[in-house]
Each structure stands twice: as structure tokens, then as C-alpha cells.
Amino acid sequence: MRRIFGKFSPTDFQFLADSLCEEASQKSQFLALVQKDLESLDQLLNHERLFQQILRREDLFVRISPYLYFELLLRRAILDIQREAYTLETIGYKTRVPVFDQKKILEVFSREALRDYLVEMLASFIRVNNFTIYVRRGKGIYFKKTFSDFDLDLLSEMGKNAEEPYRFIFLKRAGDIALFLSGIFPEHLFGREGTGYHRGRNAWMARWVNRGEELEERGIFLYRQASESVVAREQNLDSILSYLAENFRFTKKPLNVMTDRYLVFRKYDIFPVLSN
């Protein structure tokens, strides 16, 4: 069973019924089926009508959960890659070259656990939070630290010094930020300095302008470090985090397709942390 199906809300299932059933009398039977027969649900989520519905709707997260939304978008991006012989790689500012890596990308995304992880990761960036923790600086000496869970540099630094389970949490989240930016906001990595994208609360991003490849290397390192944590093993995340480290560049490709084709006019509304 796909873990992400367990996160679908009752309104998600109602959305499926409303979108796919022609007659009202069919909806109750449909709902009973898809909530019990997960194999049927998996097949139904590929329906073109569902995808067209989420593209047209303005009240996205009133009607459906982020989990269903990103699941449908990720499915479409993977389907697009299946249909095409190559993907486009960003080289420098606004320069793209074709790369014939379709086979490897599809192999990577044959892992259902990877798809589940990415859907949950994308949903986690809809809202960015601030946290306060107490960090030990000596025997009996602690100080209070408040930080954003969207500050890659600070999270990376905290991951070096913090004790578990915080160390794992910081490393994993920092790795997620690197993948999220590489996949959904590559223009921040290959844009020109002074564009205004990196002011205010996201000033830390200024150091990554025109350094997209270096950010990918950082993400690989962070995921590898997180995968080696005892906490990762306890949460059964060591395998998927290690796999992400090994396949970071292939994992970001469907996210690039998703943002280029389907999120380009919406992503700053969906992910307001990077809006101007």
C-alpha cells in the first residue's frame, strides 16, 4: 500500500467521486470501493479528468489536500517523462540542454517509497515554521535558539553540533530544502544577483545564486549524513534517505518538469516562503 493514500482526507475521496462519477447515485458506491480497494484507487489517480480539474481550480486546498494535489502532479510529470526521449538540464542562466536520462529517472521513480517521500516533502513546504530549542554548550549550560525550518545554512550548522534526535531532524530538513529548491525553484540557483529574490527572511539564499551544482552536492551530503543516523533507522528512513543521496540529480528531474509545466504560475502562491 502506498503510504500517502493513508493521508488522503474524506474531502479528497469526495473530490474523486465528484470528478469521476457522472451520476449522483454512483458516488456512494464509488467511495466505498476506492477507500477499500487501494489497487483500484492507484489506477484511478491516473485519470486525465482529475488532472484537468486540479489545473482549473482556484480553491485548491479548500477542496483537496496538498497530498492529493502533489500526488496527481507528480504522476503527470512522470508520465510526461515516459512519453519523451529526454529531459532538459539547466546549464547556467536560462540555458538548457537535452539529457537522455529517461530510463534512469523512471527506474528511480519505480520506488513507491520515493514517491511517497516527495509528496510529503512538497506538502511540508506549504507552511514554514519557526522553532525554539535549547542547545547545550557545556556541562549544565544551555542556550535558547529560535530558527526557521527553511534556513538551509543554519539547519546544516545545527546538524553538526546538536544531539539526537535534533541532529537527524536538522540534517533531513536541510537535505529536503536543497532538493526542494533544486526541483521547484531552480531560477533561484541560476538567476542573477540583485534580482530581489534573496532579500529579507530568505537572505541566506543569496550565497546560492549561480551555485546550483554546489547546492546539489550539499543536498547529497546532507541526505547521506541523515541516513546514517540511529534515528533514521528507528524511523525506517535510512534506506530512502540513502537512495535520495545516491540519486539526487535524477530525483529532481520530475520536480523540474512539474514546476516548468504545471506550477510556473502558481508556485509562489502555493509556496509563499519564496514570494517577493
Q: How confident is the model at residue 200 (pLDDT cuts 50, 70, 90)?
A: very low
Residue 178 belongs to what domain range?
130-274
The three-state secondary structure class of 263 is: helix
Q: Which helix (DSSP H) or strand (DSSP E) does residue 141 occupy?
A: strand 141-148
Residue 212 confidence (pLDDT): 86
* 155 shares a domain with 39: no
Last residue of a domain, one of 20, 38, 64: 64
**Across 226-235, average pLDDT:** 97
**Across 165-182, average pLDDT:** 96
Residue 203 confidence (pLDDT): 66
Q: Helices 48-56 and 10-20 sit at what angle, rounded to 10 degrees?
A: 110
**Domain tally, the chain:** 2
Q: Indicate if the pLDDT at residue 91 is higher than 70.
A: no
Q: Indicate if the pLDDT at residue 198 is higher than 60.
A: no
Entry pTM: 0.89
* 160 shares a domain with 266: yes
* 146 shares a domain with 41: no
Residue 191 confidence (pLDDT): 56
Assigned C-alpha cell, 9: 482526507
* 254 shares a domain with 151: yes
* 248 shares a domain with 136: yes
Question: Is 80 among the domain residues?
Answer: no
**Across 186-193, average pLDDT:** 70
Choose from 143-152, 199-208, 239-248 the range with maximum mean pLDDT.
239-248
CA–CA gap between residue 120 and residue 67 (Å, rounded)? 7
Last residue of a domain, one of 40, 64, 88: 64
Question: Is 113 among the domain residues?
Answer: no
Last residue of a domain, one of 64, 79, 113: 64
**Across 62-66, average pLDDT:** 91
Question: Is 82 among the domain residues?
Answer: no
Average pLDDT, the chain: 88
Residue 247 confidence (pLDDT): 98
Number of neighbours of residue 174 by Cβ within 10 angstroms: 27
Question: Is 265 among the domain residues?
Answer: yes
**Across 235-262, average pLDDT:** 96
Q: Indicate if the pLDDT at residue 232 is higher than 90.
A: yes
